[in-house]
Each structure stands twice: as structure tokens, then as C-alpha cells.
Structure 1
């Protein structure tokens, strides 16, 4: 007994055998070694969308924006006049490109990122040159300004002084009201002794004016046509203010009155004698808008020919569209720019020209 005890002590010092061990050994039952439970294999999730699939919507939108830029003229302009609305804010397709790029980065989709290159390159091809200085260079013979002074302008005198300080020989004003007209006449009399007014539009000049007449556009609004006797010879000048447009949830982009007036103005210009002509004013439309196609076929935009940037003029606090224009025929734009804000809701726009 003592030997067995000694052997056990020698073979397993400090270890007390479990009582079951001897029983299992006598019964010749093999001891079972406990094992860790088998690891559960995670099944692939079927609700995860592949990266290619996640980018398809963004890619489709990118293609749509790409086609929109060169083919905006094909957007129907009936009913809510969606075509005209898109054309008014066409440069802002850059915001759509930026939003698509951000979405593609968040999705981490290579397909979407590649697709966003299409509208980005298209926008750069169409509008990239706008940021270059396109001025013709050389001397200018004439500086002109046009400004919608706002019928609620609280400071006509300050506005007139700012425009006179630009050094322009011709200053066209739109949205004149009777009480403010007297203040513009008095303030500009010293620097621009000649002026003509028809309805709510007028022209102030350092050169004599003759043959002034009104051009009916719609029953309550007319354009002005006159001839300025400049040192380089007579210059025909038109000043126009086309009716406003409105954006409503139910009516869409209401452009009926403006479009009618634009058509009558285009007819007047088509019947006018060829020669050096200026067309100034607030058209409530950009030169991308199809409503001005018959006008821009004959006239060039001083801003597009010789300006730097888009030259947005409205609204004055944060301009998003250029609806105030200096258009020329048989004249060379040398430079074009916007003037600092006045008390109006539009910015004045200016151009220097060579006869």
C-alpha cells in the first residue's frame, strides 16, 4: 500500500486523481478530452449591394447632366417652360457635377467616379473659357453702362452719381419711375447733358441724341430707339426692358409676356437698317435662353466676347444669372465688366467698345 502510494506521489506529485478516473479505467472507457465548441461560419450577407450596382444611379444622373449641357435646346418649353428655366441657370450645372462627385466618393464606386468625368469635362469644354480674359486689347472709343435701377430704389441720387463716376459716355436706365426720374435728370445733367426717356427706360449721353422713338413691346411697356451723334459718326442705340418672369409651384416658369416682347423686339431689329448698333437693357433672360435666339443671331454679347467670368448681374447681393446685357452690332468689344452694387437689386454692367 505504501509502495503504491509512493509511486503515485512520484508520478503525479501535487495532483489528486479524480474519483471517476479509476472507475473509467476499470471499465476500460476512454477518457474524453473536452474540446472548444466549433466556430460558427458567418454566411455571406445577401443584402449588401455590390459596388458596381451602388454606382449605377449616380452614373445615370451623370450621363443625364452631360447631355443636358449641349442639348438644352431640345428640352420642351411648353407648359411650365422648363427649357427656358434650365437655360437661365445653365452655368450652374457645375453644382450638379459637384454633387455627383461627392456622392460617388461617398459610395466609393469606381463606376460612378468614372461617369462623373463626363459632365465635368463637358462643362469645362463649354464654360471653361469663360474664366479667361477675352478682352480684345487696344484703345476703346466708347464706354457704355446699362442698369436696372429698381423702381423701389431708395437712393436715386447716389445711384446716378455712381454711374456717372464710371466715365461712360452712354448710360441706359431701366425701371424708371416718375418721382425718381426727376432726381436722375438733375443729378446727371452736369455730366450727361443729353437724354431721352420713353416710358420706364431712358438713355443719358455726353453726345447729342436725335430721332428718338418708342418701340411697343407689350401694351404697358415700350423700348427706346435713338441715334447718338458720336465723334465717329451716328450710332443707333436701343434701350429695352422686357417683362419679368416668375417661378411658381403651380404655374412653373411664367414667360409669356417676356417672350411676346422679345419677339416684337427681334422683329424691330430685323427691320432696322444695318450698321453700328447698340442694344442695352434688362431682358429678364440670359443669352443662352432660346427666347433671345433671333436677337443673338444678329448681335454679339460684349460680356461673352470681351469679359472675364460670367458677369452675373442679378440679384445684386448674390448674382446667379446675367439678365442685363450690352449687345453690339458692327462694333468691337474691348472689355466688359460689372460695376459695384448700388441701391438697386441689379448690378450695373459696363463695356468699352471700339468703333
Structure 2
């Protein structure tokens, strides 16, 4: 007599009966590995195109173009993120696609990482320093001494408060006998200043122009502090006042009769921001020409963007650099020029 093999209740498997049960609503359905790879590859292509075509990003709603261009160097962080996603997804297609944003970032900023200084800092014919000294700076006297120690021929200081001005005048008097008497933005110089005048870019003084009588001839120097920008949920990146001030500054620079011109100060925007092109298109960035690295200046404790600029025309730049932190929330910027 044949017997049926015994099956334990713990090992017996119930055979499915009836029609297939539907998948519970809302349950995540895993994307096949090939699909994940394609999604990552598509993201890599989008990242590459966004970087390569950043000047085409419109400045309509929320000023997204200026916002992205301000932090454009940080777009390179998409490369390790995408590469990690490709590794987790085990997708060769995605890994290869990551070369696209890597190449785009390299074309934009690969040269920035090199040291382009042809001479040691301060060894040119004419050295300038610009610094937003911060009206809330707790140590204006110490900041003034640090700037004087740079040995620069001209200092352009922005966000000068009436309360702190006497400290700067006292500390800089010996080394910088010539100065402008403008408010908010001021110039200090080792060489005589002529033709000092406020440049009307805003209702109050946010720019000043002077002729510096250097041993190598006259140089027109503009010091400026463009309007501040804000990031708000309802309006996004608000830059209208800054952009209008930049256009007025650009008109003044365009009308400048001297061939050698320096424009420096707190632009509240980067040289890559297309909204500032009326000014930046006329001149060369000292940092781009002869700097080392990105030269980020703000915030001073952990610099993420370079919003403090030195632009030149009619002269060559031999070196550009940032100075050590002071009591300000910005780092000072410097450039040595060959007249």
C-alpha cells in the first residue's frame, strides 16, 4: 500500500487560488535597473546642459538666471552625487553619462583652479585693495591696520559707517594722506587724488570716482557698493535695484575719458552673473586674469561666492588674491597691476 509523504505544517506551502490579487494602492514600484540608469543619465545630461548654457537661463520669474549663476561653481557638486547614484544603481550607462557634467564644469572652471599669478602679490606698479568693512564691524581700528599692512597704493572701502569712520581716519592717516570725503564708500590713497566725485548710481552715495596720480601716470579709480540682493519665498532672488545700479555704473565707466580704469567694490554678484554684464563686459576680472582658485569672499567664515570684484581696463594684471579675514563678514580682495 502506497502512503502519501508526510508534509510538516511548518513547511507546507499553500497553493495560490483564485485570481491574482491587485497590488496595494500607494506601494512604491521599483524601477528596473536599466530604467534607473537611464534616469541618472538623463539627469547628468540636464546638469551638463544647464552649466554649459547658463547664460541662457532667463531672469524672469524669481531671477533664476542670476541665482544659478551666482552659485555656478557649486554646480560641480552634481558630479559626485550622480556618480554615487550610478554606482549604487550599478549602471555603466549612467557612469559614462556623468562625464558630460564633469566636462562642462571643467570647461567653465578648469582654468580657475590653476595659479595664474605671473608675479608675487604686491610686486606690480600699482596695487589696489577693496574691502566691504561691514558697518557692524566690532574692530574697525584693527581692520584699518590690517588693510594698511597690505601696502596697497589705493584702498577702496565700502559700508563705512559714520561711527567707525574716525577710527579708519586715525589708523590710515600716516600711510594714506589722500582720501575722498564721500559717505558710505571711500577711497584712501598714497598718491594724490583729483576729480573726486560721487557717481549717481543710487539715491544715496554708493559709488565714487577719482583720478589717482600715480608715478606711472593717471588712473581712473571707481569704488562702488551695488545694491544688496535678497532671497524671499514670494519674490525669489530680488536684484532689480542692483541691476539698475550696475547699468548706471556701466554708463559712467563707458564715458570715462582716461584709458586706464579700475572698478572695484562689493558688487553683490559674481562676474558670471549675466545681469552685471553691462559692467563686466567692458573690463577684465583681476581674479580671472591672474588669480589662484575661485577667490571666494563671502561669507568670511566659510566663503562660498565671490561678490567682491576688481575689474581693470588698459592695464595688465600680474596677481590677484584675497587677504586674511578682518572683523567684517567679507574678505578683502587685492590686485597688482602693471601700468
Normalising to structure 1: TM-score of the pair?
A: 0.86
- Do the aligned partners of 2:285 and 2:309 also contact (CA within 8 Å) in 1? yes
Is the 1:169–1:206 contact (alpha carbons within 8 Å) kept by the matching residues of 2?
A: yes
Alpha-carbon separation, structure 2, partners of 1:57 and 1:142: 53
**Rg comparison, structure with higher value:** 1
Matches within 5 A, 1:57-96: 57-96=39-78
- Across the aligned residues of Structure 1 and Structure 2, the Cα RMSD in angstroms comes to 2.1
Identify unmatched segments of 5+ residues in structure 2: 14-22, 24-28
Matching residue within 95, 98, 108 for 1:113: 95
CA deviation after TM superposition for structure 1 residue 274, in Å:
4.4
Between the aligned partners of 1:33 and 1:314, the Cα distance in structure 2 is 82
Check conservation: 1:313, 1:319, Cα contact below 8 A: yes
Q: 1:74 deviation in Å?
A: 1.2
Paired residue for 1:276, among 239, 249, 260?
Answer: 260
Q: CA deviation at 1:199?
A: 2.3
Partner SS for 1:178:
coil
- Residue 101 (structure 1) aligned to one of 83, 104, 109: 83
Q: Which residue of 2 aligns with 1:216?
A: 200
Q: 1:48 to 1:225 in 2, by over 3 A?
A: closer
1:173-232 deviation digits (Å, cap 9, x = unpaired): 000111111111111001111111322101111101111011111112331000111000
Contact 2:131 2:265 in 1 (8 A): yes
Q: Could you tell me the TM-score, scaled by structure 2's length?
A: 0.90
TM-superposed deviation, 1:104:
1.8
Pairs within 5 Å for 1:246-261: 246-261=230-245
Structure 2: distance between partners of 1:71 and 1:211: 42
Q: Report Cα offsets for 1:298-324 as digits up to 9, x if no partner.
A: 110110000010000001011111010
The number of residue pairs the alignment matches comes to: 323
1:136-147 matches, within 5 Å, as 136-137=118-119, 140-147=124-131
Tell me the CA shift for residue 32 of structure 1.
6.0
CA contact (8 A) 1:52 1:110 kept: no
Q: Partners of 2:31 and 2:207 in 1: how far apart?
A: 60
Task: Summarize the alignment of residues 304-343 of structure 1 with structure 2, pairs less than 5 Å apart.
Answer: 304-343=288-327
Alignment correspondent of 1:177: 161
Q: Residue 69 of structure 1: SS of its match in structure 2?
A: helix
2:26 — aligned with what?
A: none
- Structure 1, unmatched stretches of 5+, are 1-29, 41-45
Moved more, 339-348 or 286-295: 286-295
* Aligned-partner SS, 2:62: coil
Report deviation, 1:39.
Answer: 11
Residue of structure 2 equivalent to 1:4: none
Distance 1:39 1:288 in 2: 69
CA distance in structure 2 between the partners assigned to 1:337 and 1:39 by the alignment? 76
Q: 1:296 aligns with which of 280, 283, 289?
A: 280
Runs of 4+ in structure 1 displaced over 3 angstroms? 30-40, 46-49
Are residues 354 and 36 of structure 1, via their aligned partners in 2, closer, same or farther at CA, if it must alter by over 3 Å? Answer: same
